[in-house]
Amino acid sequence: MINKKIIRTLKVIILLFLVANKINAQKATERSQWFVDDRFGMFIHFGLYSAAEGYWHGEKIRYDNNYAEWLQYRNRIDTKDYISLINRFQWDELDPEQWVILAKKAGMKYITITAKHHDGFALWDSKVSDYSIGNYTSPKRDIIKELAVACKKHGIKLAFYYSHWVDWEHKYGWDHTKELTGITELEYDKYWQEKVIPQVRELLTNYGEISIMWFDMWIHHSRTIITKKQLIQLKNMIRELQPNCLINSRLGLSIEEDSDIDFRTLGDNQLGKEKLDYPWQTAGTVAHSWGYHATENQWKSTTSLLKSLINNVSLNGNFMLNIGPRANGEVPYEITDRLENIGKWLEINGESIYKSEAFDLRTDLHDWGKITSKTENGKTKLYLHVFNWPLDHQIRVTGIKSTPSKIYLLSDKLETSIKYDQKEVATRIYLPFKAPDPYASVIVMEFNHKPKIEKGLVGESIAGGYALTPKNTIKSEGSTTILSPSKFGSIPERLIIEGNSAYEWRVYIDQPGTYFLDISYSFQDKENNSSMTLEMAGTKLKHNFKGTGKTVGEPKSAWIIDSYNSHPLGEIKIDHPGFYDIKLDVNVIKNQTIKFNRLWLKKS
Ligand code: FHN
C-alpha cells in the first residue's frame, strides 16, 4: 500500500519535473527533437550541372524562371553529352570539408547534400549504377564519403537529398516528357527496384549515421506515376536500416496521411505563415537557382535571410539555406558573405533561435518584428526580434499580463536592465537610441514563470496607433470574405461587405486622451446611401460611404484599380486606461458593395 503511494508520488514529481523543464511545446517525437532544436541547416546543390553554370553550348538555360540544375531537361541534352560536364571539374581544388567549415561558421547544425538530383548522377561511388562519380574519376572520388568524414570531424549532422521520383538518366525513371510519351507502371517499378531502392540502401549503409533522407516530390503521389506501395517500401527500408533517420513530406506522403513522416517541407522559399504544431521546414535559396548559375543576380540580403530564419522559428519551423558551389568547390562570395554574417549574428543571438519556439500571441500582432520563446527550469524568456528600430525608441508590446523579472538586450553580456512601463497588458520598453544590431536586435523579456497573456487584442503599432483590420476582429457577423492583397499589393487586403454586417475589435489603451478614427475602404457606387456606425467608449460615430473612384497603378497602362481612401470618422475621448471594444455596424444597401480595408485609431 505504502509502496503504491510512494510510486504515485514519485510519478507526480517526475511529471512536474518534466513539465517544468519542457523545452519544446510542439509535437516533435524522440526522433525529431534534435531537428526542432537545431532550427538552422545547410542545403547543398552540387552535381554535374554545377560545371555547366547555367549555360549549354553558349546558350543560357531555357525558361527564365527555372533553376540552373534543370539545364539538362530544359535544354534537351542527351545524357551521353551531358556527362561531358565531368571534365570541367577541378578535382584538386574541390574540398567538401570547406562547405562543412562554412556551415559551422554560419551557425548551421546539419547539412543536406544532393546525393542524386534529377539528372540521376550519383555523387558517391555507387555500385548500383554506372552513372556515378566513382566511375568517372581517377583516382576515384566519392563526394558523399568526403563530406561524411568532414561532418563527423566538425560535429555537423549529415542528411541526403535523393531525387526518387524524377530521374532523367534511367530509361524508366520519371521525366516530365513522359506525360506525353507515356510509361507503364511496370516499367517505372523496374527503375524503382533497380535504382532507387538499392541506391538508398547504399547511402544508408556506407556513410555512417544519416540524420535525414530528404526526398523531393513536390506534388502528391496520387498525381504521379509513383504508387503508395512503392513509397511505403522505401520508407520501411529506411526505418529498418536507420531507425533514427528523419523523412520529409516530399517523399510524397503528407504528414496528415502518414504520421510516421517526420516533418513537412513547405514549397521552395515558402516561409511559414502560421504556427504549426508539428516539425516543418522551409528550404530557401540565397538567390534564385539552387545549383550554381554564373549570371545569378537576385541575391537576397543578409537581413532578409535572417528574417526568414527568425520568422520560421517564431512559428515553430526550421530554415535550411542552400549553397550552390562551383565545380571547383568554391562557394560564391555573395553566399559566403551572407552566411558568415548570419553566423556572427547567431554567435551573439543564437539563444533566441536554437531550442526556441513560437510564443502564444498572434504572429502578426506587432509590426516591429517577431517573438520566439524558451522555457527552461520553470523560467520563460521571450525574445523580441526588432527588425525596425522605432523612431521614438519605444517598443510597444501588447498582450502580456505578467510582470517580467527583467528586460535586457541579448547582445549585452552583463544583462543590464532596460527601463520599461507596464499597465495591464501594455508594456513599453525604452530602448537605447541606436539599434545594437544592423540586422535584427533582440530584446529579452524574462519571467520567473510562463507569462499570462491576453489574446484577441489588436497590437499597438510602432507608429503608436491601432490598425483594426478584417483579420484581427474578435467578432464578425454577416459578410466575412477576406481577399488577399493583389496586383503586387497595390490592391490591399479587404473584406467584401454586402448587406448588414457587424464587426468588433478590442484594444487596450494605456494613455488616456483624445483619439481619432478613420476608415479606409473602396466604394464604387454613385449613390451615398450605404452607411456605418462605430461605437467606442460610449461615443457613436456615423458615416455615409462615399465613392472612392479609381486610381492608376502604372502610367499609360491598363493598370487601373479601385481606389482605397481614408475618411475621418471623428474623435473619441478616453478618460482612463483600460480595455475598449470597438463595434462597427455596416449597412450596405442592395446591389452595393463596400470593400473594407481598415480602421485606424490614434491619439491626437
Ligand atoms: O526541382 C527541384 C529543384 O531543382 C530543387 O532541388 C528544389 C529544392 O527544394 N526542389 C525541386 C523543386 O521544388
Q: Is the pLDDT of residue 554 over 60?
A: yes
On the question of pLDDT at 142 being above 80, the answer is yes
pLDDT score recorded for residue 254: 86
Give CA angle at 484 (482, 488), nearest 5°: 155
Q: Is 216 in the pocket of ligand 1 (CB under 6 A)?
A: yes
* Atom of ligand 1 minimally distant from the CA of 43: 8
Q: Which atom of ligand 1 is nearest to the CA of 268?
A: 9
Band of pLDDT at residue 6, cut at 50, 70 and 90 = low
Percentage of residues of the chain with pLDDT beyond 70? 96
At 19, is the pLDDT very low, low, confident or very high (cuts 50, 70, 90)?
A: very low
Ligand 1 centroid vs 216 CA: distance in angstroms? Answer: 7
Whether the predicted pLDDT of 412 surpasses 70: yes
- CA of 70 from ligand 1 middle (Å) equals 9
Question: What pLDDT is stored for residue 24 in this prediction?
Answer: 35
The reported pLDDT for the residue numbered 1 is 40
Instruction: Place 383 in a pLDDT band, splitting at 50, 70 and 90.
Output: very high
Query: Cα 20 vs. chain centroid, distance in angstroms?
Result: 28
- The residue whose CA has the least distance to atom 2 of ligand 1 is 216
pLDDT band at 602 (very low <50, low <70, confident <90, very high): very high
pLDDT for the residue numbered 8: 53
Nearest CA to ligand 1 atom 5: 290
Whether residue 268 has its Cβ less than 6 Å from ligand 1: yes
- What spacing in Å lies between the alpha carbon of 421 and ligand 1's midpoint? 49
Residue nearest to atom 10 of ligand 1 (CA): 216
Instruction: Give the pairing of strands 110-116 and 40-44.
Output: parallel
Confidence of residue 123 (pLDDT cuts 50, 70, 90): very high
Question: Is there a contact between 168 and 119 (Cβ–Cβ < 8 Å)?
Answer: yes
State mean pLDDT over 43-60.
Answer: 97
Mean pLDDT, range 22-40, rounded to an integer: 80
Predicted confidence band of residue 65 (pLDDT cuts 50, 70, 90): confident
Alpha carbon of 234 to ligand 1 centroid (Å): 20
* Average confidence score pLDDT of the chain: 94
Assess contact for 22 and 299: CB atoms under 8 A: no
Would you say 144 and 158 are in contact if contact means Cβ atoms under 8 Å apart? no
Q: Is the CB of 202 under 6 A from ligand 1?
A: no
Q: How many CB atoms lie within 10 A of CB 186?
A: 8
Quick one: which of 395, 323, 328 has its CA closest to 366?
A: 395
210 Cα–ligand 1 center, Å: 21
Q: How many CB atoms lie within 10 A of CB 572?
A: 23
What pLDDT score was predicted for residue 2?
Answer: 42
Q: Report pLDDT digits (tens) over 248-303.
A: 999 999 888 899 999 999 999 999 999 998 999 999 999 999 999 999 998 999 99
pLDDT tens-digit series, residues 308-326 = 999 999 999 999 999 999 9
From the CB of 218, is ligand 1 less than 6 Å away? yes
Instruction: List the single range of 63-67, 217-221, 414-418, 437-441 with lowest mean pLDDT.
Output: 63-67
20: pLDDT strictly greater than 70: no
State in Å: Cα 218 to ligand 1 middle.
Answer: 8
User: How far, in Å, from the CA of 104 to the mean position of ligand 1?
Assistant: 24
Q: Is 283 in the pocket of ligand 1 (CB under 6 A)?
A: yes
> For 58, how many CA atoms within 13 A lie in the half-sphere containing its CB?
0
What pTM did the predictor assign?
0.92
Span 214-221, average pLDDT: 94
Output the pLDDT for position 540.
Answer: 98
Dihedrals φ, ψ of 346, to 5°? Answer: -70, -30
Residue 290 beta carbon below 6 angstroms from any ligand 1 atom: yes
Ligand 1 pocket, 412 CB below 6 A? no
Identify the bridge partners of residue 422 per DSSP, sorted by sequence position: 427
Helices (H), 2-57: 2-20, 33-38, 48-52
Read off the pLDDT band of 27 (50, 70, 90).
confident
pLDDT tens for residues 509-550?
Answer: 999 999 999 999 999 998 878 999 999 999 999 999 999 999
Q: What is the pLDDT of residue 17?
A: 38
Whether the upstream peptide bond of residue 332 has omega within 30° of 0, thus cis, is no
161 Cα to the center of ligand 1, angstroms: 10
The DSSP string of 550-602 is: EEESSTTSS-EEE--EEEEEEEEEE-S-EEEEEEEEEE--TT--EEEEEEEEE
Which atom in ligand 1 lies closest to the alpha carbon of residue 218?
Answer: 13
Of ligand 1's atoms, which has the minimum distance to the CA of residue 69?
4
What the block records as the C-alpha cell of 80 is 551521353
pLDDT score of 26: 42
Nearest CA to ligand 1 atom 9: 268
Q: If you measure from the C-alpha of residue 24 to the centroid of ligand 1, how many angstroms do you get, rounded to a whole number?
A: 30
- Distance of CA 268 from the midpoint of ligand 1 (Å): 7
The stretch 553-562 carries a mean pLDDT of 90
Query: Domains of the chain by range and CATH?
Result: 41-52+82-352 (3.20.20.80), 369-447 (2.60.40.1180), 465-603 (2.60.120.260)
Task: Report residue 37: phi and psi, to 5°.
Answer: -70, -40
**269 CA from centroid of ligand 1 (Å):** 10
489 Rama sector, left if φ>0, alpha if ψ -120 to 50, beta otherwise: left
Compute, in angstroms, the gap from residue 242 CA to the centroid of ligand 1.
25
- Residue 256: predicted pLDDT: 86
Q: Report the nearest-CA residue for atom 4 of ligand 1.
A: 69
β-bridge pairing 369-376 and 379-386: antiparallel
In a mutational test of the pocket of ligand 1, which residue from 264, 290, 292, 320 has the highest number of ligand atoms less than 8 Å from its CB? 290
At residue 471, the 3 state secondary structure works out as coil
